[in-house]
């Protein structure tokens, strides 16, 4: 990752850049973005009462955000410590395969360690081979598959 790029937690002034990447990420998943959800998410990241966070990879030379990771903590019956779900990871098309994705995952690992909740997990589409190239380097594939309630 070039020296001019830093990864840091989102701040109040980042809303526009975060929303830009978030909307690209939703479109990547064939979901139509809404301002309502974008704004609600950003408010939740800044609320210290809510254990949901986001970080950006920012090019200090241009001020542009090149990558985004969103993650949250939740209670579980399987451990006394919370687990961290790395929910969304996106690197701008122009900045891919330069190590940003790996660094964003590492950022979440470091934050999880600081919170003493080191269990970090995530899921991806079975056909997202590009993401899986990265994921097999920073973690391992579990045997679990995801189901959801029909119609919701
Ligand atoms: C998946 C994604 C986040 C990867 O980000 P990235 O910044 O390109 O990934 P990195 O450059 O950190 O790649 C990490 C490793 O995977 C390898 N890799 C990544 N993409 C690759 C590709 N297309 N071809 C070959 N190797 C690739 C890199 O060589 C690198 O290996 P190394 O660290 O040993 O050198 C990015 O492609 C993306 O945003 N895709 C669209 C959104 C998406 O799919 N998000 C995940 C949804 S779950």
pLDDT computed for residue 63 by the predictor? 95
Q: Is residue 14 packed enough to be buried (19+ CB in 10 Å), middle (13-18) or exposed (0-12)?
A: buried
Instruction: Determine if ligand 1 sits within 6 Å of the CB of residue 119.
Output: no
CA 145 / ligand 1 centre spacing (Å): 22
CA 5 / ligand 1 centre spacing (Å): 17
Question: Are the beta carbons of 58 and 92 closer than 8 angstroms?
Answer: no
Report, at the CATH architecture level, how domain 5-138 is classified: 3-Layer(aba) Sandwich (3.40)
Instruction: Determine if ligand 1 sits within 6 Å of the CB of residue 92.
Output: no
pLDDT computed for residue 51 by the predictor? 98
**Which atom of ligand 1 lies nearest, measured to the CA of 91?**
39
pLDDT computed for residue 150 by the predictor? 98
Query: Six-digit token pair at 14?
Result: 């980042």
Question: What is the largest distance, in Å, between two alpha-carbon atoms of the chain?
Answer: 47
CA 69 / ligand 1 centre spacing (Å): 13
Residue 82: which of 55, 43, 51, 46 has the closest Cα?
A: 51
82-132 tens-digit pLDDT: 999 999 999 999 999 999 999 999 999 999 999 999 999 999 999 999 999
Instruction: Determine if ligand 1 sits within 6 Å of the CB of residue 133.
Output: yes
CA 134 / ligand 1 centre spacing (Å): 5
pLDDT computed for residue 124 by the predictor? 98
Instruction: Determine if ligand 1 sits within 6 Å of the CB of residue 89.
Output: yes
Q: What is the chain's Cα-based Rg?
A: 15
Strand 5-9 and strand 83-91: pairing? unpaired
5-48 tens-digit pLDDT: 999 999 999 999 999 999 999 999 999 999 999 999 999 999 99
**Which atom of ligand 1 lies nearest, measured to the CA of 128?**
44
pLDDT band at 1, cuts 50/70/90?
A: confident
Task: Name the residue with the closest Cα to ligand 1, atom 33.
Answer: 99
Task: Examine the pLDDT at 3 and tell me if it is beyond 90.
Answer: no
pLDDT computed for residue 104 by the predictor? 98
Task: Examine the pLDDT at 147 and tell me if it is beyond 90.
Answer: yes
pLDDT computed for residue 38 by the predictor? 98
């Amino acid at each position: 990752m070039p020296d001019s790029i830093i990864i840091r937690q989102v701040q109040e002034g980042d809303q526009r850049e975060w929303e830009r990447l978030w909307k690209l990420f939703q479109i990547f998943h064939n979901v139509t973005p809404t301002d309502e959800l974008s704004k609600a998410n950003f408010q939740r990241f800044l609320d210290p009462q809510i254990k949901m966070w986001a970080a950006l990879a920012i090019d200090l030379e241009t001020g542009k955000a090149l990558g985004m990771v969103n993650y949250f903590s939740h209670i579980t019956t399987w451990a006394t410590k919370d687990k961290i779900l790395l929910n969304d990871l996106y690197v701008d098309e122009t900045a891919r395969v330069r190590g940003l994705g790996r660094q964003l995952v590492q950022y979440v690992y470091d934050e999880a360690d600081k919170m003493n909740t080191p269990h970090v997990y995530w899921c991806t589409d079975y056909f997202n081979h590009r993401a899986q190239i990265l994921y097999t380097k920073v973690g391992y594939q579990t045997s679990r598959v995801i189901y959801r309630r029909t119609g919701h």
